[in-house]
Structure 1
């Protein structure tokens, strides 16, 4: 077999991880015909189709799956070697970073993150992807996401982590609620009707506490995103439990009030996660530090991210 151009290996790995010619071209900053041409050359070299088109994207063949791990490892080693010998200059870099956030994180954290990044690195691009907890390990393994910020406690030896800020839960409801003004006791809490955020949002601690203490209440609706709450609550007598920071944003934007919960819920840590294999990258270290500075200005950072 004749030598393979490194760009073909990079194209193959990107195609395997994205399962899409369009997405691969976007990540590689090349045209779709260029990716298709590279795929044709790879098919000729390996004498194998490598990928077949399906409704769910590009499905790898058996041979493709076999060679991916070796190519991914080799490419990672090359990238690390280059990264170790290059200084990342945020002022001139045109690199794209990918960050996974919940819809809550997009509302409360993203504006400050973008402002900080635009100030320090005006040409850098940030792509935000919706957080899917069950995919974090695979995202980090295939380098499709650079960092995750969420309040879910995730423990894995392949991940670096650093707690950034603490958040607390409160109850949010309409200012015009006929039976509640400023304070909320347990009897009222259990008798009123509630709208609940799906556990897939990553914010299930308060719900877990309710179950632990066998506190029942009347649930009228379950919604997948926090962004639906302001209009729902403003035009109803429903109650919702959510983190204080987003509750304050919603209360300023709509006719809503915040009440303390009538039971104790421990504070929750908002944590930054990243793949351990990125620890030695100056670009990744800059990105992590910028996220920390944006989310929690003045946050104590004893040493490089990863110490926490």
Structure 2
């Protein structure tokens, strides 16, 4: 135990976070047999199976759960010390950066982020994970993602405001009853598409509830990205952030109008874990992402 290989610790932590030998191998840039060999050595070292196979991948044992936090923190401190002691060169790095984005983030920000990264760090890789707000804090703390972008606060994270947004109404440009201005009576009389509240966009319903009003929901969908395919040619209305509504109107067949009642604006922020601030690479990545979005507006 006194001569444990640092690579074994890295293999264990990556396996625990990926819950898949295949995905762990991709993240470590090694072959699957190499990861399997490392797992065999870990099992011998700790005298425990550590992971059991399931239909969806691998599941950690009780001992693996106990080991993970300490080994992850130790590995993070070692990596940060090494990275902090040497100059980070974006132009030559082949590092993979991981960021969590919602579907709105992917549509509104990803092209801006990739364009800047491609110019400054052409050999770097980017992995985008679908944002799950109930796991956001854990993902940052565990290092599963290096950063994430959302409108909500993330417990234990540091944040930087990127943009300030407002909500608008999106509808077909051939809607038979609505002209250039939308009244409250028209808004409430028409049928709507609603995007589920677990995306974090429930402000419209909250505002209507305070007014003791309610809109007529005819269709509920999990993602904003389907709206350009559903709305054109219908009489349905949808409410979404203005930046994304502008993108959708560029595709044709849609237009946006201001809402006929006040809804609070909101801030979209970049979030990261304080532990990552010791890494020159991650500081550069966060700064690059922030500049790409702020300057791209």
If the TM-score is normalised by the length of the shorter chain, which range does it land in?
Answer: over 0.9
Name the TM-score, length of structure 1 as normaliser: 0.93
Q: For residue 305 of structure 1, what is the aligned residue in structure 2?
A: none
Give a deviation string over 1:141-191, Cα, whole Å, max 9, x none: 21010111112x2142x2010111111111010111110011110111111
Per-residue deviation, 1:298? 8.3
Per-residue deviation, 1:98? 0.6
What SS does structure 1 have at the residue aligned with 2:192?
strand
| CA distance in 2 between partners of 1:67 and 1:155 (Å) | 25
What SS does structure 2 have at the residue aligned with 1:93?
coil
Q: For residue 160 of structure 1, what is the aligned residue in structure 2?
A: 158
- Cα RMSD over matched residues? 1.4
What SS does structure 1 have at the residue aligned with 2:161?
strand
What SS does structure 2 have at the residue aligned with 1:257?
strand
What SS does structure 2 have at the residue aligned with 1:9?
helix
Q: Do the aligned partners of residues 163 and 228 (structure 1) sit closer, same or farther apart at CA in structure 2, a change above 3 Å counting? A: same
Name the TM-score, length of structure 2 as normaliser: 0.97
Q: For residue 130 of structure 1, what is the aligned residue in structure 2?
A: 130
| CA distance in 1 between partners of 2:111 and 2:208 (Å) | 32
Q: Do the aligned partners of residues 298 and 228 (structure 1) sit closer, same or farther apart at CA in structure 2, a change above 3 Å counting? A: closer
| CA distance in 1 between partners of 2:207 and 2:124 (Å) | 42
CA contact (8 A) 1:13 1:71 kept: yes
Q: For residue 223 of structure 2, what is the aligned residue in structure 1?
A: 225
| CA distance in 2 between partners of 1:27 and 1:137 (Å) | 21
Q: Aligned ranges for residues 46-195 of structure 1 at < 5 Å? A: 46-151=46-151, 153-156=152-155, 158-195=156-193
Q: Which residue, 220, 225, 241 being the options, matches 1:243?
A: 241
CA contact (8 A) 2:101 2:130 kept: yes
Number of residue pairs matched?
Answer: 297
Per-residue deviation, 1:100? 0.7
- Unaligned residue ranges in structure 1 (runs of 5+): 300-308
CA contact (8 A) 1:196 1:240 kept: yes
